[in-house]
Each structure stands twice: as structure tokens, then as C-alpha cells.
Structure 1
């Protein structure tokens, strides 16, 4: 742990920044969980969907469009996220850490700063995710509409986290209950 990732609060306790990342299929509950995690003191939420919708309106038509914009955004935000963590501010990333390469980016963030981390994995089956997706599309509250065909296309790239990837993993079931935990 580097000294810069710890701060002393008003009563002299040491607080350590934590990087929270989420992994789970579309409509598995990642944004719901990240909103709850962001309620903690000295915590900032960064939502990929909100940033992409604002920075690239009407530009996401294909999976390739999304991948290129998301990669640019990760490059832009890397130093900013590390500065927040080094200042002792916990960061909740509402980004899909659904592939080994996106998780490698997350790993580089907490490794560079030496802060604590959690990879929250929402292990929810396709049937439940698709039902939630339909409800989300009908509500119109999400910045993007995703069809069942797009869900299937995107989900083909989903890779659950492996214990050997070096993360403190918390696994949740479809009800949001913790089923398994590794690390601190």
C-alpha cells in the first residue's frame, strides 16, 4: 500500500481508498450495485454508460463503435481515476469488467496506486438478464436500448473472472446476495 492512497480523517483514523469494479452480463444489476456502493463516504461513481452517452451521442451503432469509444474513454480516465484513488477517494467504476482485457485495465489502476480493490461479479443467468433487459428497455430510463439479438452478440464476449487473475472477488447471485468472496 502506498502512503498516498491512505488519508487520515477528522478523528485520526486511517481511511484507505478502494477501487470497486463490476463484472456481469447486460442487465445483471451492475448499475444498481454500483449506485449502492457509491453511497459510501469519500466515494465517487464513474458510469461508462453516462459518459459514452454524453461524449458520443448517436455514435454507437455497432459493437465496434462501442469498443473504440470505450477504449478512448478508458485511456482518458486512467490518470484521473488513479489521482482520485491516490488522494484517498474510493472509486466505483460502473464499467463492464467482462473480459480479461478490461479486467487487466482495472488491475493496472489499483496496482499503480497501491490501493485496495474489489471485483464484484454478478452471476446472473441469461433468462433473468433478458427479462430485466426487456423491462429496462420499456422503462426508457437507461441511456441505451439493447435488443435481445444485441444482448446475445455482446454476451458471446463475456468471460467470468478467474481466481488466478489477481482480484479480490465478491460473487453475487441473482437476488444480490453474496455467494462467495476471496481476498480482503
Structure 2
């Protein structure tokens, strides 16, 4: 796949370390980080309150940015796509981007216990530096949608346990 970059995607609970891992991976040469939370918070300020809101605006964002991501991958840039890939449908979109660009892909799965995620979330909420404040109820709701990938999805999976 000469000339095509690598697409990194992430599956894991809220505050499992997806964005921290993404930032670390983005330090590699010829690599760009693209953050869903950052884009959504700026494109739709104050509009993402419910899971339905998230689905509505994330669908728009993915439709708009997908072709651009493909072009970047075709130039040889590596993309660290800090978008949730927590459901089969969201992973299918990620995989379609990689396939249309003829690019390799890695799905990073963060397997972190709930108590660690809750602790990190409390620290993150207290710091106020993240785009979104997440309540305990939202933590439970959003994490109920996290579905581990299956081999049938065809991803190159790297599991990060207790990260």
C-alpha cells in the first residue's frame, strides 16, 4: 500500500484513555491528530446534550470529513482519528474510510475497569479542560453503547489493557 498512510481508530469507555493514547500516537512523524470532541464542540457549541444530539451531529461530521480523510491518507499521512469507534456502525464508517483510501488501519481497544474510568472522569471534569463535562448518568448511558469488535469486522486490533 505504498503511498497510503495508516489510520488509527479507538474503542473504549469514556475516560479509558482514548484521547491520551491518540495524542501520544500523533507525535510520530507524518502523523496528524483529528479529534471528534474538538470538532463537534466548535461546530455545534451547546448542541450536544443527549445521545440523539451526538448521533445527529456526528453523522453530519463524518459525511463531511470522510472524503478529506481519504485524501490525506492517500498522500501518505498517518491519521490518528480520535473519534469513537465503539459500535459496529461507527467502526464500519472508519473501515470504509481506510478501504477507500487503500490504507492500513489499526483499531486500538482500551480495556480499562470502570472504577479507573470513573476516577479519571472525575479528575477530568474537575479540571474543566475537556470539551464536555460528563455526568455519572451519561457515563453509564454512553458506555452502554460500547461493543467490543469482532474478528468479522476485519480490523487489525491492538488491545491496551488497564491503560
TM-score by length of 1: 0.86
Structure 1 stretch 121-130 or stretch 138-147: which is displaced more? Answer: 121-130
- Alpha-carbon offset, residue 156 of structure 1: 1.1
1:156 aligns with 2:140: no
1:57 aligns with 2:45: yes
1:106 aligns with 2:132: no
| Residues 28-48 of structure 1: per-residue CA shift (max 9 Å, x gap) | 000000000100111111000
| Residues 162-182 of structure 1: per-residue CA shift (max 9 Å, x gap) | 12210000000113xxxxxxx
- Alpha-carbon offset, residue 154 of structure 1: 0.9
1:91 aligns with 2:72: no
2: CA distance, partners of 1:61 / 1:96: 17
The 3-state SS of whatever aligns with 1:121 is strand
Counterpart of 1:178 in structure 2 is: none
Structure number with the bigger relative contact order (C-alpha 8 A, sep ≥ 6) is: 2
Give 5+ residue unaligned stretches, structure 2: none
1: CA distance, partners of 2:92 / 2:101: 15
1:118 to 100, 106, 111: 106
Give 5+ residue unaligned stretches, structure 1: 7-15, 176-184
Give 1 or 2 for the bigger CA radius of gyration.
1
- Alpha-carbon offset, residue 138 of structure 1: 0.4
TM-score by length of 2: 0.97
